[in-house]
């Protein structure tokens, strides 16, 4: 007995429409996004961070808070060992404009 394909046509059209919209959105987002860059000074600063979380206020700058975070772990998964090294530097500055 042959398989009736006519009932599958609406499903195939919906899946095709969703795929086309997704592809179009991906192209639009890729065309408008900034490709980014790697700054070696920032990479060196992240490598020099100590482990843990640090927060402080510089005495020479009014209204600024700085934070730094670094986590280093070794993860074993399915017989392989991976090293996780995550670092972040943040600054929050609030200035009154006259």
Mean pLDDT per segment of 10 residues, for the chain of length 98 residues? 84 96 95 87 90 90 89 94 93 86
Q: Give residue 1's pLDDT.
A: 67
Could you write out the DSSP letters of every residue in the chain? -PPP-GGGHHHHHHHHHHHHHHHHHHHHHHHHS------HHHHHHHHTPPSEEEEE--SSSTTEEEEEEEEEEEEEETTEEEEEEEEEEEEEE-----
Q: Give the start-to-end residue ranges of the domains of the chain.
A: 40-93
Write down the pLDDT at residue 17. 97
């Amino acid at each position: 007995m042959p398989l009736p394909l006519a009932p599958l046509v609406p499903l195939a059209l919906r899946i095709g429409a969703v795929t086309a919209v997704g592809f179009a959105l991906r192209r639009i987002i890729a065309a408008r996004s900034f490709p980014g860059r790697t700054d070696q000074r920032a990479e060196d600063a992240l490598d020099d961070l100590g482990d843990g979380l640090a927060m402080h206020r510089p005495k020479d700058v009014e209204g600024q808070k700085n934070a730094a975070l670094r986590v280093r772990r070794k993860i074993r998964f399915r017989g392989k060992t991976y090293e996780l090294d995550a670092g972040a530097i943040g600054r929050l500055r609030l200035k009154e404009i006259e």
